Structure 1
């Protein structure tokens, strides 16, 4: 399967789950630049569960649109699980959504460090008042890192939604 086919398949599966569970979703994206939102809305009928998403590439945007605290950004940096969690919470609140996916990372080719190498991506997931986060390091060039992050975020969201009963 092609990368695009994988993404569309994941978005379709996630959309079916959202419809079945009567949930709405929003995204807060930095390094993926709206890629998750793109795939979610590529599915016909997605307006039933997607109202809006946020591309918050700068720290200023994260603070203004998602209420990420400046103290969090100063202490942990934009690419951190702490920031991803606040992004997810802020997006869910701003959009009035049941579920939020947040992504912040270093897609490259520059910007990495020893602690946060290129390919480091942090995810935040808000689901019915609960927040989870994780950190992954993906291999490849900028586009490959971004695409892996998009697909990973949708896979994790499917797993989280599948686990809830309603």
Structure 2
């Protein structure tokens, strides 16, 4: 199969490369671009370990062809840190509230939460649980993840109010 040229924005920078059109985005990110934050879990879109943000939507990169990302704006966990390299509010709240254990699901979970808090800046516990339902965590029982998301929402809203 012939390779195609793909070009998209990844974490704010243009990237490009050659890939077979059937190459999955997760494989292109990890193997071609050496972006290892998104993890390969189930490869069926059930676990969410591979979640990235593409054109303003959470997507499971194990079910997106790299050809579909051509021209897109893609953000991974690596693109969510602050410009100075410090943890984002969401990342810091996951750390502070012990919202992770083994860490395998964490990059996909945080990337999903990033989009969730843009969609619902003041979520309820029910909103959070529904919003992260497509991202599985086998270690935490979700209690501390939910606490971390609600704390992040509170902090982000306080920052927004202070800036206004």
Could you state the TM-score of these two structures normalised by the residue count of structure 1?
0.26
Higher share in helix: 1
Could you state the TM-score of these two structures normalised by the residue count of structure 2?
0.27
